[in-house]
Amino acid sequence: MESTKPRVLVLGSTGLTGSAIAADLDDASDRVEVVRASRDAKAVALWRSEGRPAVQLDLDDARTFAAALEGINRLFVMSGYTVAMTHQTKTITDAAADAGVGHIVHLGIFGNGRSTDPHFAWHELVERYIEGSGVPWTHLHPHMFMENLLSVFALREGQLPWPAGDKPTGWIAGEDIAAVAAKVLIEGPADHAGKGYWMSTDVLNGAQAAAIISEALGQTIPAEVLTPEEMLEAVAAGTASTPSFMEGHYALSTFEWLRQTYDGRMDYAAVTTTAVEELLGRPPIHLAEWAVRHRDALLAAATLPPQPATA
């Protein structure tokens, strides 16, 4: 039983989600002590120079786990965009159990437990492993990150690429994911052990998302509606690319998700949920609000055609 302020280790604290979670936990420093983790020694040194507790932990090197987990009560786990996520999550879960960690909060996918898409199936495998570890657990199931509009689906030649035909998917803001994760880590296993939280704020297809972004940017942004195979052909031709942060096999598996969205096998996931509002006690961030907040970032990530000169 935790007799002092719980120490919470956040994996991936240099990343978009991990850094936001760590910042939210900083705001609750009266309740928990956040410890940032990264494989990057320079990032760890910088945090320490700022007076922030930090440890070096490399998910590809299990020798770094024991020291990083010493004295840790709660652990946030988010694996990388790589097939290696399976053994990475397995080994960090084993180490957490050995270290006496009292709660694992895992960030996964919006699946149904019977996924055939490879990267969804990998997530479901590690979820089952965590559940069998003996460590109290909570699973977070976010839908499509709105932040993908700054990377995977960044505007291209003034259009929003959407390689799933007219099919919609669910969307969730990264800020909401981080806020939910932080709340679960702060409140701990007494309130959240054995639970899963599915997060989906909007259900939109490419054309609907493009209309919302057009409103935020003050210019017409049409959707470039493609099939998954047309997108694959564009990648092969060099006119499109897979994200640099995704390992090759993982990136290819996302095309299977697109195929299953396009042909209707993912229709079960085209739903909204109330988890964010119920957990945080406030409305979730909808895409219209997110796009206004991130207007400059949307423009910075975009490849836009030349605009006509104005007098």
pLDDT at 305: 54
CA separation for the pair 275, 184 (Å, rounded) = 12
CA separation for the pair 139, 131 (Å, rounded) = 10
SS3 63: helix
CA separation for the pair 273, 163 (Å, rounded) = 24
Q: Which residues pair with 9 in a beta bridge?
A: 35, 75
Q: Give the tens place of pLDDT for each residue, 123-171.
A: 999 999 999 999 999 999 999 999 999 988 889 888 999 999 999 999 9
Beta strands in 80-158 (DSSP E): 103-107, 137-142, 144-145
Query: Is residue 140 a contact partner of residue 106, using CB atoms and an 8 Å limit?
Result: yes
**Please, what are the domains in the chain?**
7-145+172-199 (3.40.50.720)
pLDDT at 43: 98
Residues in the chain with pLDDT < 50? Answer: 1, 306-311
Per-residue H/E/C for 290-306:
HHHHCHHHHHHHCECCC
pLDDT at 301: 79
Cα–Cα nearest to 107, from 140, 61, 72: 140
Residue for token digits 């790589």? 82
pTM of the model: 0.93
Cα–Cα nearest to 44, from 78, 70, 72, 9: 9
Largest CA distance in the chain: 70
Amino acid at 111: G
CA separation for the pair 277, 279 (Å, rounded) = 6
